[in-house]
Structure 1
Amino acid sequence: MLIIHKTWCGACKALKPQFAASKEIEDLSSHFVMVNAEDDEEPKEEQYSPDGGYIPRILFIEPAGKVRTDFFNEDGNASYKYFYSNADSVAATMRRVKNSIRSDSRTMEEL
């Protein structure tokens, strides 16, 4: 899980305390490797801005490094799929990712 934000960004500053206070995000975080990319740490490769370079942007990435563009803020703006303005939306996507991985694991074990 890659969180891209800037220290000067108003939307980033508004999301940060909600994110930090969310018990659900805290619980779900044990299932993720969470990477915080702040300011100049933002990756420049095109795959990390699948629909633009806005911030904050939260992406989910496979262990091999591929960005999973199928996991995005389903309650958000379709033009800015990876923008999150509240912790509940972040947690909802985290749950979808976790459940998808669990389903994929079961399928692999059954084979």
Structure 2
Amino acid sequence: MNRAAESSQVLPGNVLSKRDTGQPPSPGPCWSSSFQPDSPCHIPVTRPLLCAAEQATACQAPQRQVSHLFPGAAMEKSYTSMFLLLIAISSALAKDMGKKETKETTTKPKLPQTLSRGWGDQLVWTQTYEEALFRAKHSNKPLMIIHHLEDCPHSQALKKVFAEHKEIQKLAEKFILLNLVYETTDKNLSPDGQYVPRILFVDPSLTVRADITGRYSNRLYAYEPSDISLLYSNMQKALKLLKTEL
């Protein structure tokens, strides 16, 4: 083989220059004369390589991107502070809720004001006049009937004093209790007229105790808040007379 043929032969790993001089060109700073498959920035020999400085930049760029996506110690410290703050807030809220639940459980529950209408939530009240008469007769207890209206200021004033009077609330447990916001068809419950507030007593023989009255001659069965002591006395009188008649 002649020299021209030898010089035109492409040797593996070398690059021909534009003018075949018979010698491979000297490798420059951005060219490679050999194939390096193990290089982390490997580029085929037919393409120009980056210079040493640019090569270092290309290798480090992904690391800077990772550093940007995942902040360092400062960002981790910020996340830790936020996490601890959330824990502190959650703990404070939990303690506050615990105190409220404890307060609610220790408070004595009140019965629904369905039948009492505020005259004594802890007392047992009957629903109708017929039921009250039946229970009075079969339990041999006197019946106490309170006529009132929700929009009557006198009724509301008497109700407040009646419900807050501990001795009356205790004594009322010995009665069959009924409070009405309407009039019944029994005329015996309005011997001197229909007005409110009006309180009458009925003995177990189903007789209205018209003899147990208040202090007002024009409204015999009316009571004002200042008459609460007289009402308590009349309740005791109803119980005593019941025992005497038996």
Shorter-chain TM-score: what band? 0.7 to 0.9
What residue identity is the alignment partner of 1:82? Y
Identity of aligned residues (%): 33
Unaligned stretches of 5+ in structure 2? 1-143
Counterparts of 1:66 and 1:100 in 2: how far apart (Å)? 13
Residues 1:93 and 2:220 are matched in the alignment = no
Partner SS for 1:2: strand
Query: Counterparts in 2 of 1:5-84, with a 5 A limit?
Result: 5-38=148-181, 40=182, 42-73=183-214, 76-84=215-223
Deviation of 1:54 after TM superposition, in Å, equals 1.1
TM-score by length of 2: 0.39
The CA RMSD over aligned residues, in Å, is 1.3
Unaligned stretches of 5+ in structure 1? 106-111
More contact order relative to length (CA 8 Å, sep ≥ 6): 1
Q: Name the larger-Rg structure.
A: 2
Q: Is 2:198–2:223's contact at 8 Å kept on the other side of the alignment?
A: yes
Aligned length: 101
Counterparts of 2:150 and 2:185 in 1: how far apart (Å)? 17
TM-score by length of 1: 0.83
Runs of 4+ aligned residues of structure 1 deviating over 3 Å after TM superposition are none
Deviation of 1:45 after TM superposition, in Å, equals 2.4
Counterparts of 1:52 and 1:77 in 2: how far apart (Å)? 13
Counterparts of 1:58 and 1:85 in 2: how far apart (Å)? 11
What residue identity is the alignment partner of 1:46? K
